[in-house]
Amino acid sequence: MRLPRPWFPAKWFFPEALFRIKTDDRLLCLTFDDGPDPASTPGIIDMLEKYDIRAIFFCNGRSAENYPGLTDLIRSRGHITGNHGYSHLNGWTTPATIYCDDVNRAAPFSSTTLFRPPYGRLKFSQYTTIKKSYRIIMWDVMPYDYDKHSGSEKALSILRKKIRPGSIIALHDKPESTLHGFLEEFIRYAMEKNFRFCLPDL
């Protein structure tokens, strides 16, 4: 069963990770995982530019190394890049030393300060090491846009139902993501509901 919000006890296990912005204001933060990708990233950036929105792109280290021009583009438009590991490892099935080395390998190409675990899967031993060097950013809402079989309408429905003040929204920067079919509609919907998009204080 998929849950649009993280498993609740995760906040107890990872108390220093950021899941949601602490605010009563109608603020949202957009984040994009797994890029950069030449078939996906420029379109997302153009859409964000259209609505004057800044976001966080949690970049795959290997992709960021292969497409340095795209990471430069992301930053030049006022967005932040975060670290999403070099090889997109599953923390639950990877030894802590290998996992942390993979994160550090990605750092020169993505970020030395912000980290989001691939799949959201992180063992406590990995967490205790990574938090010493990185601010760990999780999410409050994920609409499973990476699943093309779920469809853009399903993802949009999840967002409409689940966003709340301070929500950090996890989307995916890759061609097969369904976000390309609903991102603008969601932005317009959120603005009509008097939400504003922002970056958290990091």
- The backbone torsions φ and ψ at residue 163, rounded to the nearest 5 degrees and listed phi first, read -65, 150
pLDDT at 10: 80
Give the closest residue to 184 by CA, choosing from 25, 30, 81, 80.
30
Mean pLDDT of each 10-residue bin along the chain, 202 residues long: 68 93 97 98 98 98 98 98 98 98 98 97 97 98 92 96 98 97 98 98 89
Give the closest residue to 159 by CA, choosing from 149, 151, 150, 169.
169
**Is 179:171 a contact under the CB 8 Å cutoff?**
yes
Q: Which two tokens stand for residue 14?
A: 């990872």
| CATH classification code of 19-197 | 3.20.20.370
26-32-36 Cα angle (round to 5): 150
Inter-CA distances, 139 with 19, 20, 33, 49, Å? 5, 6, 11, 22
pLDDT at 146: 94
Write the DSSP symbol of residue 199.
Answer: P
What burial class does residue 125 get, using C-beta atoms within 10 Å of its C-beta: 0-12 exposed, 13-18 middle, 19+ buried?
Answer: middle
Length of the chain: 202
Q: Which amino acid is at 52?
A: D
